[in-house]
A = this chain, B = another copy of it.
Amino acid sequence: MLSEFQRDTSVELLGTESRNGERESLRYRADVRRGWEIGEISNGGYLLALVGSAMSTAVERPPLTVTAHYLLPVTPGPAEAVVRPIRVGRRLATVVATLEREGRPMLTALGTFGTAAGSEVRLVDGGPPDVGHGYDAAALPASPNEPPFPSITDRLAVRLRPGDDGYRRAAPKGSADLAGWFAFADGGPIDKLALLLAADAFAPPIFNSGLPASWVPTIELTVHVRASPAPGPLRAAFRSRFITGGMLDEDGELWDEAGNIVAQSRQLSLIPRS
């Protein structure tokens, strides 16, 4: 039985395209499913996981590092992922993909898939954020009982660190960071593909800064998958350090129940002129 996330990132091979007799790309049906939106716009992490699913399926390996560039706001509906393996090695495979609707590109991604050799932990400079409480989806307030009501919150069981939800009450804490728990609302497993979603599943930390910000469209999001998560919810921390020149960065870390770093993320977003 598939989890909601597995169901909504499943893809179906439609065909292959050749040029000069060589197989050049694989075309997948990769519909953007409803239920992963913020307002009307599909969440960028969900879209990265969706296109990542097609890329991962094409080369039969899990994501290691994936970058997406977002070309347009995407809404739910039919879509296709055109996946072009650039180099398929013994261990690692590098792939380019574009998520299209009616031939129009909505997102382009570049990723390397596979697993690095080695499992040693040699240096960990940092640790999981102290989110101030154990994860208990039943006992903690569900994400937003306040407007807006982004529908992705029905799919996720995100719980913020006490004090980090001030932006929801128009009482931001005054620094551009936030942390909390990540899990799926249906209790579905968090695998490497799900890390691509989790890396963009929280509100932009600029919301907690007190600086004016509403819509901050992502230009680029990169996720490094550092390990397979142990079962259980993740602890996540996000921070923006540079809000300059009409742009802002956002760095993220995802830690599993065993206390291991499982992903690092970084994105660059625009601050539209108000």
User: Contacts A264-B249, A271-B118; is A244 near B124 (CB within 8 Å)?
Assistant: yes
Residue A119 contacts which of B126, B211, B219, B246 (CB distance < 8 angstroms)?
B246
CB of A96 within 8 A of CB of B118, answer: no
Q: What copy number does this chain have within its complex? A: 2
- Is A273 positioned at the interface, with any CB of B under 8 Å from its CB? yes
Using Cβ atoms and an 8 Å threshold, which residues of chain B touch A273? 117-118
B-contacting residues, A150-195, CB 8 Å: 176
Which B residues are CB-close (under 8 A) to A125? Answer: 176, 239-242
Chain A interface, number of residues (Cβ within 8 angstroms): 60
Cβ of A147 under 8 Å from chain B: no
Q: Which residues of B contact A138 (CB under 8 A)?
A: none
Is residue A120 within 8 Å, beta carbon to beta carbon, of the partner chain?
yes
Is B116 a contact of A270 with CB atoms below 8 Å?
Answer: yes
Chain B residue nearest in CB terms to A119: B245
Residues of B contacting A206 in the complex (Cβ-Cβ under 8 angstroms)? 123
Query: Chain B CB within 10 Å — which of A105, A227, A244 has the most?
Result: A244
20 intermolecular pairs with C-beta atoms under 8 Å apart: A69-B86, A69-B111, A86-B108, A87-B105, A110-B110, A112-B220, A117-B246, A117-B273, A118-B247, A122-B271, A123-B206, A123-B243, A123-B248, A125-B239, A220-B222, A227-B244, A227-B245, A242-B261, A264-B266, A266-B266
